[in-house]
Every structure is written in C-alpha cells, then in structure tokens.
Amino acid sequence: MRENFFKKVVKQQTKTKWKKYIRSLMSSKRKQQPRKMQAFIQIVNVLHRIIELIARGIFTLIAYICHPNECQPPVTNRILLYSASTLAAQIRQQEITSEEVVLAFIDRIKEIQPILNCMVENRFEAALEEAKKCDKMLRSPNAPSIKVLTKEKPFLGVPFTTKDCIGIAGMKQTAGLVERRNTVAERDAEAVRLLRAAGAIPLATTNVSELAMWWESSNCLYGTSKNPYNTRHIVGGSSGGEGCILAAAGSPFGIGSDIGGSIRMPSFFNGIFGHRTSKGVVSNDGQYPSPHQKELDELLSLGPMCRNPFDLLPMLRVLAGKNASMLKLDDKVDISKIKFYYMEDDGGQLLVSPVEPEIKEGLKRVVDYLERVHNVKAKKVNIKKFKKSIELWLANMSAKDGKGFAWELSNRTGDLNIWWKFAQWFTFMGHHTLIALITVLVESFGIKYGTEKHVKLIQESRDLILEFKDMLGDDGVFLYPTHPTAAPMHHEPLIKPFNFSYTAIINIMGLPATACPLGLNKEGLPIGIQVIGGLYQDHLTLAVAEELGRAFGGWIPPPLIENGKTIQVPTNIALYT
C-alpha cells in the first residue's frame, strides 16, 4: 500500500513538474516572439537603410549628370510678394488694379515655367478680360462700398491657381492620365465656383502625379515638375505643381486636395503653408478622380495652399461655403490656452525612413518657443498605433465595390491588362508611369475589403480616432513631422514608397492638419511640421500656423545664383502681409 502510495505521489509530482516546465517553455516562447519580431524588424530596417543609401547615391549621380540645378529668375515685382488678402484690399481701395496684379503673375509664370514645369494649362487671356471687368466695375459710380466688397467679395480681382484634378469650366481636367488628354471640364468644381463667387480669378491649372495617387508630381502627359529650391529634387504630390508655383511666386494662392498628404507634402517640400480641412467641410464635387464611395469621400479633403499663413483662414471661410458654420473661424484663439502634444517620429515603422535630425530639431524649436513665449509646456506622447500607419491607411482605402486603382488607371472602363502595360513601359511605348503600374500590382496583393484582417484594421482605426478625440478634445493640438525627410531627388520615392505615412495616418481620422514651414535645412531645402487639431477645430491649427509664421519667418524665397554662388534672399512675413 505504502509503495503504491509513494509511486502515485512521485507520478503526480512528475506530472506537475512537466506541466510547470511546459508552461515555462510556453511563456518563454511568448516572451521570445516579440523579441524575435523586433529583431526581424530591425534587420529589415537596416537593409532598407542600406538600399536607401545606395539608391540615393545612384539618383544623385544621375541628377548631377542629366539635370543641372537651374535657378529661376529673381522676383523683381513687389506685387508677387504680397498675400492674397493684401492684394484684395489694395484692389478694393483702387491702390492697384486687378489687371496689374494678373499681368504680374502671368509674367512670372512665363519666367518660371520653362525651368520648373509646374503649370499644365493657362487661361491668361480670359483672366485678363475678367480683371479688366473687375477694374471697370470698381471705377463705376454704382460700385459697392469697400465694406460690402470686403464681406461679399473678399478676394475680388485676385488670381489663383488649382491642381489639374479640380475642374475649371472650359479647361482640361486630365489628372495626369494620357487617356484623358482631351477631357474638358464642363463646369467649375464647387471649390472653384465658391472662389469665383468671392471675386477670385482662375489663372491656370498645375501638374499632378498620375491620377493623384503618388507623392512625386510626374506623369506621361505633362512630365515632371521640379523643386524651386533645387531642381534636382521633387515637388511632392499630388498637389506638387501647385506647391511649386506658389513657392516660386507664380500665384498668390491656390487649391489642393489631400487623401494621403497631397496638400501637406507639397507644402512641406516647397516651404509654403497648406491646410487639410476637417472631413466633410469642403465639397469634393467637381474633382477627378472623384470618390465613388462614402468611406473614400471622408478620406479626401480639398483645402487652401498659400505662401502667407494669414490667407488660410479667409480662404477656408470661402471654400467651406454653407459648412463654414461647422467651424469656429471667427473665434479668437489664445495660444497660451491650447494644450499641445507632440511626437518626434512614428515609433519605428517598418520600411519608413527615420526622421532627419534637422526636422526633429525644428520641432524642438517650436516646443521651446511655446514654453518660452506662451508659457505652454507641450507634452510628449507615444501613439503606438502610428507604427501601423500604412496598414491602417491601406485598409481604409480598400474599395468596397472592388473598383480600385486598376479601374481608375483604365479611365474607369475596367479594361486594363497590367502585364501588357508593363511590357509597353519597358519598351518605352507605355502611357503610364512605372509607379502607377506597381501600385496596381501592390493593390492586387493587398488588404481586401471585408476580410478578417481588413475588419481588424478598421476597428483599430476607430480606436485611434477615439484615442485622439480623448487626447485633443476641443482645445488640443498635436505637433508631428509632415514627412521624415526633406524633398528627395527625382525618382527617389520609389525606394521610399511608404514615407507618406506621416500624413496618411491623419486622413483616416478626418482631422484638420496644417503644414507649416520652419525654414531651410543645410542643403537649402524647406523643412517644417504639421499641426493637427480635433475634428472641426480647424481654427486652432490655423491660429498656430499664423503664430509659427510670425515666429519662424514662414515662406523663404528660393535662392538666387549669381556668378556660380548661391545667394539666399531674406524675407520678413510683415513685408508681404
């Protein structure tokens, strides 16, 4: 009996020991899995950095051999430096004529276009005729009072430009797609109509990436736009031509659209201000490609782009139309009463470039300025979901009806043989850019709508929205890099395809975000940050943009080259406000 009892006890203890041992192994494996995953991510990121360095060397060599750094002529007409609001005030008071203003910008575009290739089509003659009518109306004895014009026609007689995707009646609306080279807009987009109603005069349309779905503005129809600070570098996309023409003083203000950063990245790369509005505020009507489902419509937002931050608010008031009441644009904002939060990077997302030290330093200067001048201490936070920015954005971009980028690339006919298109590209006979074709392939292997992974990522997106809502409330602002690097060399985005994640993550939350320049880096390229607010709190981000414009100088004119030496032209925001 005792022996049997002893055997049972030993057997039971042995079983218990084995169970404990197995449990310990299981738990150690669980602990090792994240470590292994982190090690794998680190190895992939190191390999990606090596590829980036090698590719940048190759692209730099090609740029120096094939693309000399051309410098546009200096700005000699002071009209070109004034804000749109200042020009409008001078026109109303008849200190200057609309015709003079329009002529000044026409002459400037003619100077810069051969160098920068930012414009795709102009309406110079029609714009001049409209300017003359404006001047004639102001000279007539029955002209409305200045007070009435200020309220009803805040941009009377001031020219503006817009990206090629946004329709202007009688002008081509190609979106950079060769198949649409003869497509003409039958009517103004709603945003254009509202600006016209405010007295502004459409002057030209500007270059975009093919179908507005890449962050370099290059297509097989109009070619590649070049950065005014160094023509070997990109202008961003898809509103890249717009960012370029504004930075080069070819237009006082313009309209862009943003589904993954298409306003903020070009603004960042070209050293200007750009605002992605809260979802549903500015109408997307009249844009091509147009969102064909509600989810995509909420990701896309039209908004203002300009050199002077003080133009952003009056522009948004016009563009918002009847929805302006959703915003608090007339409220005075006390910077010292805003709660500030910030992150220096995304936490180490896979296959995304690290944030350059000069951009982090720029963000630090802003944080230090807020504390020194406004006695506001910004809080550093860690939004863990930002490490999945690309995944979350791609999930939100997946088409419910299966009509993805391949359908768009076929000009919405559905007839696209991707392998035949690749064959045409390799034989220099194709009508599509390489990145557009690659995007179709990536999409075909990507996250499918309704799958378990898609549902999970959509839920994580909703959780992120709630996290930001709790953090920002109606008096909070979040400071974040607009992009991890300054403007890359032409074609370099091909090896940094996911760097747009810094802007794309904001789109899935539908929040307002303003790109603010913070000067130039050591290479003479613009850098800056984006200022993000709570839903419909656009007035907060615009107020911060104005404050940063005053504190850090805002737009800096592109450099001049004299006798082979680069000369940086200083500016002061007060001079053109």
Rg of the chain on CA atoms, in Å = 26
Please report the pLDDT score of residue 85 as a whole number: 97
Position 504 scores a pLDDT of: 98
Rounded to an integer, the average pLDDT of 482-493 is 96
Would you state the pLDDT for residue 90? 98
**CATH code, 81-398+446-555:** 3.90.1300.10
Asked if residues 83 and 311 have their Cβ atoms less than 8 Å apart, the reply is: yes
pLDDT of 292 reads 74
- Tell me, what's the pLDDT at 500? 98
Q: Mean pLDDT, the chain, as a whole number? A: 91
Name the percent of the chain in helix, strand, coil, to the closest 5.
50, 15, 40
Of the candidates 189, 309, 185, 199, which has an alpha carbon nearest to the alpha carbon of residue 255? 189
* pLDDT at position 2: 45
pTM of the model: 0.91
Query: Judging by beta carbons within 10 Å of its beta carbon (0-12, 13-18, 19+), is residue 515 exposed, middle or buried?
Result: buried
The stretch 2-21 carries a mean pLDDT of 49
DSSP for 329-348, please give it: TTS---GGGSEEEE-SS-S-
Catalytic residue among 153, 163, 172, 388: 163
The pLDDT value recorded for residue 60 is: 84
Q: 98 an active-site residue? A: no
Is 575's pLDDT higher than 50? no
Does residue 404 have a pLDDT over 60? yes
Asked if 268 and 483 touch (Cβ cutoff 8 Å), the reply is yes
The answer to whether residue 12 scores a pLDDT higher than 70 is no
Strands 301-306 and 379-380: unpaired
Cis omega (within 30 of 0) on the bond before 357? no
Q: Please, where are the H alpha helices in 473-537?
A: 501-507
Residue 574 has pLDDT above 90, yes or no: no
Which of 402-406, 477-481, 494-498, 562-566 bottoms out in mean pLDDT, i.e. has the lowest?
Answer: 562-566
* Confidence label for 236 from pLDDT (cuts 50, 70 and 90): very high
Task: Give the per-residue pLDDT at 185.
Answer: 97
Does 31 or 557 have the greater pLDDT score? Answer: 557
Task: Identify the helix (H) or strand (E) that includes residue 131.
Answer: helix 124-139
pLDDT at 288 exceeding the cut of 80: yes
Per the model's pLDDT, the better-predicted residue between 189 and 33 turns out to be 189
Model confidence at 30, in pLDDT bands (50, 70, 90)?
A: very low
pLDDT in the model for residue 77: 92
Of the candidate ranges 13-27, 56-70, 88-102, 408-422, the one whose mean pLDDT is the lowest: 13-27
The reply to whether 262 belongs to the active site is yes
User: Which residue out of 98, 225, 238, 267 is catalytically annotated?
Assistant: 238
Residues 379-388: pLDDT tens digits?
Answer: 999 999 999 9
Q: How confident is the model at residue 402 (pLDDT cuts 50, 70, 90)?
A: confident
Q: Which of 512, 504, 508, 502 is nearest to 535 (CA)?
A: 512
**What 8-state DSSP symbol labels residue 427?**
T
Flag whether pLDDT at 572 surpasses 80: no
Sort 375 into a burial class: Cβ within 10 Å, 0-12 / 13-18 / 19+: exposed
Structure tokens at 389: 């920015």
Asked if 163 is an active-site residue, the reply is yes
pLDDT in tens, 304-353: 999 999 999 999 999 999 999 999 999 999 999 999 999 999 999 989 99
Statement: residue 16 has pLDDT above 90: no
- The share of the chain scoring above pLDDT 70, in percent, equals 91
The residue-averaged pLDDT of 51-56 equals 86
Is the separation of the CB atoms in 192 and 168 below 8 Å?
Answer: yes
Residue in 262, 278, 283, 501 annotated catalytic: 262
Torsion of CA 536, 539, 542, 546, to 10 degrees: -170
Q: List Cα–Cα distances, 562 to 133, 322, 332, 566, in angstroms.
A: 41, 50, 45, 7
CA dist 196 and 188 (Å) reads 9
Cis peptide leading into residue 353 (ω within 30°)? no
C-alpha to C-alpha distance for 472 and 329, rounded to whole angstroms: 18
Quick check: 18 pLDDT over 60? no
Q: What is the average per-residue pLDDT within 541-567?
A: 82
Q: Give the residue carrying structure tokens 């749109």.
A: 84
CA distances from 151 to 145, 201, 314, 318 (A): 10, 17, 11, 11
Q: Which residue has the higher pLDDT, 527 or 38?
A: 527
Q: Which of 181-195, 443-457, 509-523 has the lowest mean pLDDT?
A: 443-457
Residue 245 host element (H or E)? helix 240-247
Over the stretch 185-224, which tens digit does the pLDDT of each residue have?
999 999 999 999 999 999 999 999 999 999 999 999 999 9
Residue 577 scores a pLDDT above 70 = no
The pLDDT-based confidence of 565 (bands split at 50, 70, 90) is low
Q: Residue 176: its pLDDT value, please?
A: 97
Q: Strand 526-533 and strand 513-520: pairing?
A: antiparallel
User: How far is residue 160 from each of residues 23, 534, 575, measured CA to CA in Å?
Assistant: 69, 29, 21
Predicted confidence (pLDDT) per residue in 368-381, tens digit: 999 999 999 999 99
Which residue in this structure is represented by tokens 């925001």? Answer: 573
The owner of tokens 């690097």 is: 485
pLDDT tens for 105-154 read 999 999 999 999 999 999 999 999 999 999 999 999 999 999 999 999 99
